Amino acid sequence: MLTCRAVWKKLAPLARASSTVCRQNVRRAGWNNARTPLCVPVAHMSTGPVGGGGDNLKYALLVGAAFVGGLTYAVITVKGDQERHRERMAAIASRKQKSASQIHTEPLAPLETKLEAAAAPDAEAAAPSETAEPPPVDEPLAEASAEEAAAPLTDAGVEEAADSKPSLPSHAPYLLIGGGTASFAAARSIRARDPGAKVLIVTDEPDLPYMRPPLSKELWFSDDPSVTETLRFKQWNGKERSIYFQPPSFYIDTEELRSAENGGVAVLTGRKVVHMDVRGNKVKLDDDMEISYDKCLIATGGVPRNLQVIERAGEEVMKRTTVFRKIDDFKSLDKVSRNTQSITIIGGGFLGSELACALGRRSTESGLEVIQMFPEKGNMGKVLPEYLSNWTTEKVKKEGVKVIREAVVKSVSYKDDKLEIKLKDGRVVRTDHIVAAVGLEPNVDLAKSAGLEVDSDFGGYRVNAELQARSNIWVAGDAACFYDIRLGRRRVEHHDHAVVSGRLAGENMTGANKPYWHQSMFWSDLGPDVGYEAIGIVDSSLPTVGVFAKATAKDTPKAATEESGTGIRSESETEETATSAVAPAAPAPVVEHRDEYGKGVIFYLREKVVVGIILWNVFNRMPIARKIIKDGEEHADLNEVAKLFNIHED
Amino acid sequence: MSSVRQEGKDKIIFVTKEDHETPSSAELVEEDPNDPYEEQGLILPSGEINWNCPCLGGMASGPCGTEFKDAFSCFHYSKEEVKGSDCLEQFRTMQECLQRYPELYPKEDDAQSSQASEESAGSAEPSDPAAGSEKDSSDPTLSNTESSAES
């Protein structure tokens, strides 16, 4: 630039004289930065002292030199700006995610060509403008014009770059943190109620929203060897479906969310929200990206707990331990079950028992040893009354599982290529792999930065009956400790609750203001012979009243689904209600059960009011159960209430 | 005859079929059809369509949600003698949209879904997916669309 100035200064006196007239002409015509070389002042009636052919030649040379000088100046200016632009893009790029580095190069390339293409006409525009005006007056103007030309270019360039990269929306009207069942149900609800809603789901899992129950049930019973890839399963009635709620085409790309005319649901995978600014209505992701919102749902679910003794036991033990919640856990456990001889499941609740039964079934084909151990007296010891828990344990054993009751783990070590589990009462179990199914720790990482209340009794974010934590923030699913008008404050970790609460949160985010009222249910199948559905507070420490009838072969989960033509019960209570096909009534042989608990209803009482009900091998009666809990009445004779269920019929 | 056993805090009753033949004396609270807290069926008490009804299977929330809502609303409020005959344009637009997402809306169910929307709108009594047993459906074909759409 300095050299240019120097050159200009030298040429100035010469140029000034010859271009005085042209300058006057240009001023009259009006100055503009137009690209049309409106005044190439070579047509020159120069009235100066110069005249004649030789002078014309000199003049031509002068103009030529000036032109070249101007061109050089313009090119150098633009190149300098390009340099600045590149640096700015690099700064922006470093803020974005590392995985997009490939994509960065692509948009930068067309941008560069654009810049170069723009540089040429710009240079031309700058040149005549510079030659037309003698410096120094022209200099600032020329520089200004070049910079002006370059500046909008730079800004435009930056904007274009920002748009053409996989740019994440910096604002989402509806932001859902977490990409599980509750989040998906909320997204659906919002889209149904707010036409054209733009919903952004941010999840730290790599997968689109999917349902979890099949991961510990149906997927294990699939005949398809590629099930770990397809994640599809055939239900009892032959209908097949994927565990994903919707295929990828249901969602729109995150980049399109801003401009989508009818809105849509976009899912941002592999990103974690690490900070929440409630006052500013925005969140920050783990790559420093910020997203502002109008309404936000926290549906972060939880993280499986592990036993402290295992965590302290060292790497060799941890390498051989699985906690189970996600798709990846399913894939890895499936692989392990094919490559080891012995698996031990620690935990006797829903997940532990279901996995034990699923693996137990595999054990009959492969000779895999399946052990299940837990501190309670029987399977589902915290849920079922003792007599039923014992009965269930016998059923689990029949599925091929070695059940070790009243087992408290004292230490785990890795010895002689096996894991050695020492129990407090002295028993020792040697196994190849451990699955820890000992509960879920609700994810309340955002509580601190967002200033949200965490419940000390149940864990999770504390929300009101409308699932609201603070003004624009709702919480649903496993992470929500909510006020249930009927049953009191609680936190529920079941699939249907995630659907119901997610749906409710979505409704309330779109202005409904409805409290949690529709009671969610849950179910469990422990093999083909034992299945039950439940609703409300089902805690074995409560007094119970069980009313049983003798079961026939028709009263099994398998028969129930065959008859009603539905798929799995994961579907029924959610968005899809299934067909009620009429199955031919086959005569049912009466199967004599040695133990009596074939089918029945169990009522859980709290101060004489029914707060929970289990339908034991009795299906399609959930509405009646729901009604009884909703009423919240004291019933003198629960046998009379049991009559409402017609347990002797199908 | 029924037998009763007590195991600690838990009571166990065994009943035969005959024991349960007499009608129940248990009293249930009467339902309020306009209870705002309850899950609504397809048609709200105000007469509007409940787009969040599980029976619609998510048709109103997917990529063709807007087109579906237009077509179905038009049908619902249609006063023509042949209900919906003035809504062919909306249905055609919806059909075009559905065809763009064959994965979500498989071809053979397109005819079913439009027919089903007419059926479910036609049925006067609101479906009650919440109260209905989980295996009930007010609209078999629509739900078929959804479930097989995902298969």
Most confident of the ranges A467-476, A588-597, B129-138? A467-476
Q: Could you read off the pLDDT of A400-455 as tens digits, one per residue?
A: 999 999 999 999 999 999 999 999 999 999 999 999 999 999 999 999 999 999 99
The model's pLDDT over A93-132, given as tens digits with 9 standing for 90+, comes to: 665 545 444 444 444 444 444 444 444 444 444 444 444 4
The reported pLDDT for the residue numbered A74 is 81
Q: Given the DSSP bridges, would you call strands A461-462 and A480-484 parallel, antiparallel or unpaired? A: parallel
Same domain flag for A421 and A527: no
Question: Do residue A190 and residue A296 come from a single domain?
Answer: yes
CA distance A534 to A544: 14
> Following CA atoms A528, A529, A534, A537 in sequence, which dihedral angle do they give, to the nearest 10 degrees?
-110
Residues A351 and A412 in one domain: yes
Tell me whether residue A425 is in a domain: yes
Q: Which helix (H) or strand (E) segment is A332 a member of?
A: helix A327-339
Q: Give the residue among A477, A478, A481 at the shortest CA–CA distance from A452.
A: A481
On whether both A400 and A470 belong to a single domain, the answer is: no
Q: Chain A: residue nearest B62 by CA? A: A250
Contact call for residues A381 and A407 (beta carbons, < 8 A): no
Q: Report phi then psi at A488, rounded to 5.
A: 90, 180
**A292 found inside a domain:** yes
Look at residue B126 in the predicted model and tell me its pLDDT: 34
Residues of B in contact with A249 (CB under 8 A): 63, 101, 103-104
In a domain, A84, yes or no: no
First-residue to last-residue Cα distance in chain A: 93
Q: Is A106 exposed, middle or buried (0-12, 13-18, 19+ CB in 10 A)?
A: exposed
Asked if A540 and A578 sit in the same domain, the reply is yes
**Strand (E) or helix (H) holding A69:** helix A53-95
Q: Tell me if A1 is assigned to some domain.
A: no
Short-list A124, A122, A136, A126, CA closest to A11: A136
Residues A433 and A414 in one domain: yes
Looking at residue A67, its pLDDT comes to 87
The predicted complex's ipTM stands at 0.74
Q: Which one-letter DSSP state was computed for residue B43?
A: B
Q: Assess whether A314 and A433 both reside in one domain.
A: yes
Q: Are A555 and A624 within one domain?
A: yes
Chain B residue closest in CA terms to A573: B134
H or E segment and range at residue A173 = strand A171-177
Omega of the bond leading into B63 within 30 degrees of 0 (cis): no
Residue A602: strand pairing partners: A546, A614
Asked which of A423, A439, A455 is the last residue of a domain, the reply is: A439
Q: Enumerate the residues of chain A whose CB falls inside 8 A of the CB of residue B148.
A: 239
User: Total structural domains in chain A?
Assistant: 3
**Joined tokens for residue A420:** 């050695």
- Same-domain pairing of A540 and A631: yes
pLDDT tens for residues B118-136? Answer: 444 433 333 333 333 333 3
The pLDDT of residue A76 = 82
Together in a domain, A183 and A271: yes
> Quick check: is A455 in a domain?
yes
Are residues A377 and A392 located together in one domain of the fold? Answer: yes
CB atoms within 10 A of CB A490: 18
Measured between beta carbons, the chain B residues lying within 8 angstroms of A231 are: none
Q: Which domain holds residue A414?
A: 305-439
Task: Give the residue, A68 or A602, on which the prediction is more confident.
Answer: A602
Nearest residue of B to residue A637 by CA position? B26
Residue A232 lies in a domain: no
Q: Show which of residues 571-600 on chain A sit within 8 Å of chain B, judged by CB atoms.
A: 571-580, 596
Residue with tokens 């060292």: A314
With beta carbons under 8 A apart, name residues in chain B contacting A613.
Answer: none
Higher-confidence residue of A294 and B147: namely A294
Q: Residue A258 in contact with residue A292, Cβ under 8 Å?
A: no
10 Å CB burial of residue A271 (0-12, 13-18, 19+) is middle
CATH number for the domain spanning A178: value is: 3.50.50.60
Task: Considering only the beta carbons, identify the residue of B36, B52, B132 that sits closest to A623.
Answer: B132
For helices A495-509 and A181-193, angle between their N-to-C axes, nearest 10 degrees: 30
Q: Return the half-sphere exposure (C-beta side, CA atoms, 13 A cut-off) of residue A475.
A: 30
CATH number for the domain that contains residue A583: 3.30.390.30
Alpha-carbon distances of A275 from A272, A281, A460, A461, rounded to whole Å: 9, 11, 17, 15
Query: Among residues A510, A532, A549, which one ends one of the domains?
Result: A510
Q: How confident is the model at residue A79 (pLDDT cuts 50, 70, 90)?
A: confident
Q: Which two tokens stand for residue A456?
A: 């000390």
Asked if residue A257 belongs to a domain, the reply is yes
Q: How far from the centroid of its chain's Cα atoms is residue A189's Cα? A: 16
pLDDT tier, A48 (very low <50, low <70, confident <90, very high otherwise): very low
Q: Do A291 and A274 form a contact (C-beta atoms < 8 A)?
A: no
Is residue A574 within 8 A of residue A553, CB to CB? The reply is no
Predicted TM-score (pTM) of this structure: 0.71
Note the pLDDT tens digit of each residue in A489-506. Answer: 999 999 999 999 999 999
State whether B54 and A249 contact (CB < 8 Å). Answer: no
Please tell me the distance from the alpha carbon of residue A277 to that of residue A473, in angstroms, as a whole number. 11
Best to test chain A binding among B30, B150, B151 (most A CBs inside 10 Å): B150
Domains within chain B, CATH numbers bracketed:
41-107 (1.10.287.2900)
A521 in contact with chain B, both atoms CB, cutoff 8 A = yes
Q: Name residues whose C-beta falls within 8 Å of residue A122's C-beta, 6 or more positions apart in sequence.
A: A35, A74, A78, A146, A149, A150, A153
Question: Cα separation of A33 and A618, whole Å?
Answer: 84
Assign 3-class secondary structure to B68-132: HHHHHHHHHHCCCCCCCHHHHHHHHHHHHHHHCCCCCCCHHHHHHHHHHHHHHHHCCCCCCCCCC
Same domain, A501 and A529: no
Q: Which of residues 619-638 of A touch B (CB under 8 A)?
A: 619-623, 626-628, 630-631, 633, 635, 637
Q: Does A87 touch chain B (CB under 8 A)?
A: no
Would A222 be classed as within a structural domain? Answer: no
